Amino acid sequence: MSDQKNEETFRVIDRRPFTSEGELRKDVVEEQEREAKVEAAKASPPPAEQAKSPANPPADAPKRLAAFENLVRMLGQNAAMVLGAYADPQTGQPVVDPGAARELIDMLDALHEKTKGNLSPEEDNLLLDLLGKLKLTYVEVNQAVAAQAKAQAKAKTR
């Protein structure tokens, strides 16, 4: 058996930005200058491209928030659930509760009113599309429930 050990070689690279005297290292300064030039080139397209590009939204325009979109989707899913879109796991039957659906739709309406002007265009579209679909479904479900109740009342009188 050989007692020779495999020698592994490795290289140590000093990635500290400062020298022992406390000054920036030359390669760090050069790298920062290169990055600044690249960023400047990205930030200002040639004049021909500037004319073609659509107007950018103002700097103070609201930003999209994933948490807000998740809140809107959660309320929408709950409203859809009580409008019969999902079946109850225990019974397998759709859950229809127009009163609960109305409350959830009213919450989304209030959210839309209170956040008017503070939403990004994507958030506003999401909220408006969802409200439109839920309100339409609510009317359809209410009509079906009313027709069913009318049919049951008619059957009892016979």
Whole domain around residue 106: which residue ranges? 66-157
- What pLDDT band is residue 121 in, cutting at 50, 70 and 90? very high
Is 53 within the bounds of a domain? no
**Token pair for residue 9?**
């070689």
Is 88 within the bounds of a domain? yes
State residue 125's pLDDT score.
94
Is the Cα dihedral 141, 146, 149, 155 positive or negative?
negative
pLDDT in tens, 54-101: 456 666 778 888 999 999 999 999 999 999 988 888 998 888 999 999
Residue bearing the bigger pLDDT, 139 or 21: 139
State residue 53's pLDDT score.
47
Cα separation, 76 vs 64, in Å, equals 18
Residue bearing the bigger pLDDT, 127 or 8: 127
Is 22 within the bounds of a domain? no
Quote the number of domains for the chain: 1
Report yes or no on whether pTM surpasses 0.75: no
Is 90 within the bounds of a domain? yes
Is 25 within the bounds of a domain? no
- Identify whether the C-beta of residue 155 lies closer than 8 Å to the C-beta of residue 148: no
Is 48 within the bounds of a domain? no
Is 100 within the bounds of a domain? yes
Is 58 within the bounds of a domain? no
